[in-house]
Structure 1
């Protein structure tokens, strides 16, 4: 069994890593790809402004929450 807190922390810093650690590699790759694409799109539209950081933070928090629930 995977430590849920460790999965959440890993997924907060690298979205998808906690999901992969919890056993769902496909979901982990999807989370990681979405994070990269989201970063490029928001960076292109808004630059490195506050909106980009807020959306990235919200996505990281969701990825951590999902990884925590998966590992529980």
Structure 2
């Protein structure tokens, strides 16, 4: 069973829609959480704080999706070599 994840694809998906990379990685709840918090952050642009939080969440989502995909791949490599 090959559950390897493409870290670049995970980051690009999160670039397109914040949280989509997490969903691709199998972290459904975390991905939905990112989407909801990102939407709230967009709404907060009305009171200006969103201009700070929105790009931070967007970048954080991309980095997190990439790093988690890499971690999944590393765990898969260890599991496949120990079997």
Q: Which runs of 5+ in 2 are unaligned?
A: 71-83
Aligned to 2:30: 27
Aligned to 1:37: 40
Segments of 4+ in structure 1 off by > 3 A?
A: none
**Structure of larger gyration radius:** 2
Q: Which runs of 5+ in 1 are unaligned?
A: none
Greater relative contact order (Cα < 8 A, sep 6+): 1
After TM superposition, the score normalised by the length of structure 1 is 0.82
- The count of residues paired between Structure 1 and Structure 2 equals 67
After TM superposition, the score normalised by the length of structure 2 is 0.72
Kept in 2: contact 1:16–1:31 (CA 8 A): yes
